[in-house]
Structure 1
Amino acid sequence: MSDSFFQVPGGPRICYRVDGPASAEPLVLIAGLGLDLTSWPQSMVDGFTGAGFRVIRFDNRDAGCSSRIDAPPPGRLRQLFARPHPGAYDLGDMAADTVGLLDHLGAGRAHLVGMSMGGMIAQTVAARHPDRVATLTSIFSTTGHRRVGQPARSTLVRMARRPARTVDESVRAHLAMLRHIGSAGFPPDDDGERAWAAGLWERTGGRAGRQGIPRQISAIQASGDRTAELARITAPTLVIHGDTDRMVHPSGGRATARAIPGARYVEITGMGHHLSPGVVDRLVRLTTDLALQGDPR
Structure 2
Amino acid sequence: MSSSSIHPWGPVRWAENGAVRLAYDRFTEGSDGEPLLLATGLGANRHWIPDGLCHLLAAHGFAVARYDQRDGGDSTHLPPTATRNPISALFAKRGEAYTAEDMADDAAVVMDALGWSSAHLLGVSLGGAVAQRVALRHPDRVRTLITMAAVPGDVSGLRTMRFIRMGTLAKFARLKFPDTPEGAVAAGLAVSRLVASPNHPFDEEAAREAAARNVDSGMHDQQAQSRQIGAQWHGPPISAVTRPTLVLHGADDPLIKPAASRAIASRIPGARLMLLPRVGHEFPERSWESVAAAIRSLADATSGAHR
Q: TM-score, normalised by structure 2?
A: 0.84
Matched, 1:74 2:83: yes
Aligned to 2:63: 54
Q: Percent identity?
A: 33
SS of the aligned residue for 1:279 comes to helix
How does 1:1-297 map onto structure 2 within 5 Å? 1-19=9-27, 20-72=29-81, 74-76=83-85, 78-79=88-89, 81-86=91-96, 88-143=97-152, 144=155, 146=159, 150-165=163-178, 166-187=180-201, 189-201=203-215, 204=217, 211-219=223-231, 222-223=232-233, 228-294=236-302
Tell me the distance in 2 between the aligned counterparts of 1:24 and 1:248: 32
* Inter-CA distance 205–252: structure 2 relative to 1 (3 Å threshold): closer
* Inter-CA distance 185–294: structure 2 relative to 1 (3 Å threshold): farther
Listed as ranges, the gaps of 5+ residues in structure 2 are: 1-8
SS of the aligned residue for 1:160 comes to helix
* Inter-CA distance 72–244: structure 2 relative to 1 (3 Å threshold): same
Tell me the distance in 2 between the aligned counterparts of 1:42 and 1:121: 22
Tell me the distance in 2 between the aligned counterparts of 1:18 and 1:263: 28
Aligned length: 288
Listed as ranges, the gaps of 5+ residues in structure 1 are: none
Residues 63-103 of structure 1: CA deviation (Å, up to 9, x unaligned): 111111134252337426324454x2122111101100111
SS of the aligned residue for 1:231 comes to helix
Tell me the distance in 2 between the aligned counterparts of 1:160 and 1:107: 37
* Inter-CA distance 97–264: structure 2 relative to 1 (3 Å threshold): same
* Inter-CA distance 147–2: structure 2 relative to 1 (3 Å threshold): closer
Q: How far is the alpha carbon of 1:121 from its aligned partner? A: 0.8
Q: 2:54, 2:64 within 8 Å by CA — same for their partners in 1?
A: yes
Tell me the distance in 1 between the aligned counterparts of 2:22 and 2:200: 32
Q: 1:110, 1:135 within 8 Å by CA — same for their partners in 2?
A: yes
* Inter-CA distance 152–134: structure 2 relative to 1 (3 Å threshold): same
